[in-house]
Structure 1
Amino acid sequence: MSYKKHFQFIGLILCLNFLAACTVTELDADGNPIIPKDPNAIVSFQDFTLSEVADQLWQPKVFPEATQDFVSWDSIKSQLEAQQIITKQSYFVRLNGTVESVDLGRIKGIIKLKVGDTRIDLQVGRIIKGNSIRDASKYVLFDDFKNQIRFAQISREFNSRAMLSVGKPDSSWVSGEVSVIAAITIDQNTIRDAVPIQITRGGQ
């Protein structure tokens, strides 16, 4: 083999080795390279649908938080009596009381609950106003969402899951004792919204 051909052969071997070491990049429909996601990257809710976000948060985090780390009603009541809750705040709270009425419409409904000398309207049904569950939870952060609209819309997903947990109250509940885990929003020492998350009949 001549000296020139010898170097050509070595060059060919080097080129083949280089090509073998290269990773073939797949292209999308527009011909752009598909960059695989970094497996070590932090998962962001920005890439999920609202339903998927709720799935990530509700059962693993928000529901256990509500049912285990709630504030006692006595604590809330004492603050209300002292007029200490001036700015808008939301809490998970446990309420033990008597059902005075169950008014269910096709879309909205109210369970009137008497807790001691206080009457609280629990929202039930397909339409729940306010953001009590979202704002009571330490796991739902604005920075995890794309924008203010998605942050507002996640409340609907939480409310829907809360209604599934509560079940279907009816007139047979009236005059019965219940224990309720609820998310409540208080502003200017007034309960603005209350959403039940769990209701146990019999007050247990």
Structure 2
Amino acid sequence: MAKRRKVGNLLGLAVLSVLAQRPMHPYEIAGALRGWGKDQDMAIKWGSLYTVVRNLDKHGFIAAVESVREGRRPERTVYRITDAGRAELLDWARELISSPEPEYPRFRAGLSVLPVLHPDEAAALLRDRLAQLDRNAAAARETLAGHLREVPRLFLIEDEYDLAAMRAEADWIRSLLAEIDAGTLPGLAGWRTFHETGEMPAEFAALAERTSSTE
């Protein structure tokens, strides 16, 4: 189970990882995060960066070391990571790597209501998604291969994961489409009957009743 953290926004994790390299002011932190592609690894809301930095400072994970002024730009505070911040960074990373947590991607939500679509439409939409996944995977493979010529693989592990996840999803969709096309998907006949007649199959109605009676 995920720990309740003093700063739970994943942007905080990213900031700590950047400051583990060297002290920076928030503007530099944002540039480093973009340069390292951290906005591709997690949902970053750039407008909350300064709030996250202030919260990390408040809880002792980072500390201000100096304020600098460049030309006519506003004064900027430079922060460094503290010992407590390094400990938090390591503990957070260990948790994320070792402990699987439930995640709720949009595709899963769509699959949960798949029966509201006619089977033929559902299959067509799944084919559209599959085609896009294949294009995305091909582009990701090409991009990854290019990066590997310049960057050690260690720093591209998350890109490998993304590619593997796309491949796994595409394989699963192909398998589901094969069952739909062959007519072997359990419940397919009732699903089709419901959309073609408007009548709920008895087995579907019984399932709904059984489920509601156990709540």
TM-score by length of 1: 0.24
Query: RCO (CA 8 Å, sep 6+): is it higher in 1 or 2?
Result: 1
Report which of the two has the higher share of strand: 1
TM-score by length of 2: 0.23
Report which of the two has the higher share of helix: 2
